[in-house]
Amino acid sequence: MIKKSEIKKKINLILELQNYGIEKPDILKVMEEVDRQIFVEESLRKKAYDNIALPIDCGQTISQPLVVALMTQFLDLKKNMRVLEIGTGSGYQTFILSKLARFIYTIERHKFLYINAYNLFKKLMVTNIFCKHDDGGLGWKDQAPFDRIIVTASAPDIPSKLIEQLSINGKMIIPIGDQHNDQVLKKISKNGETLSITDLGSVRFVPLLEGKENK
Q: Convert the pLDDT of each residue in 182-214 to its tens digit.
A: 899 999 999 988 999 999 999 989 899 999 998
Q: Is the peptide bond before 145 cis (omega within 30 degrees of 0)?
A: yes
Q: How confident is the model at residue 2 (pLDDT cuts 50, 70, 90)?
A: low
- Of the candidates 101, 12, 122, 113, the one whose C-alpha atom is nearest the C-alpha of residue 55 is 113
CA 203 to chain centre: 14
User: In which band, very low, low, confident or very high, does the pLDDT at 181 lie, cut at 50, 70 and 90?
Assistant: confident
Q: What ranges do the domains of the chain cover? A: 4-203
In this structure, what DSSP letter does residue 64 have?
P
pLDDT at 139 over 90: yes
**Preceding omega of 207 cis (within 30 degrees of 0):** no
25-33 helix and 4-19 helix, angle to the nearest 10 degrees:
160
Residues 42 and 64: beta-carbon distance below 8 Å: no
Q: Output the average pLDDT for the chain.
A: 94
Calpha distance 159→136 (Å, rounded): 10
Q: Which residues are marked as active site? A: 63
pTM: 0.94
What phi and psi values does residue 81 have, to the nearest 5 degrees? -85, 150
- Beta carbons of 87 and 208 less than 8 angstroms apart: yes
Fold adopted by 4-203: Rossmann fold (3.40.50)
Q: Is 193 helix (H, G, I), strand (E, B) or coil?
A: coil
CA–chain centroid gap for 108, Å, is 11
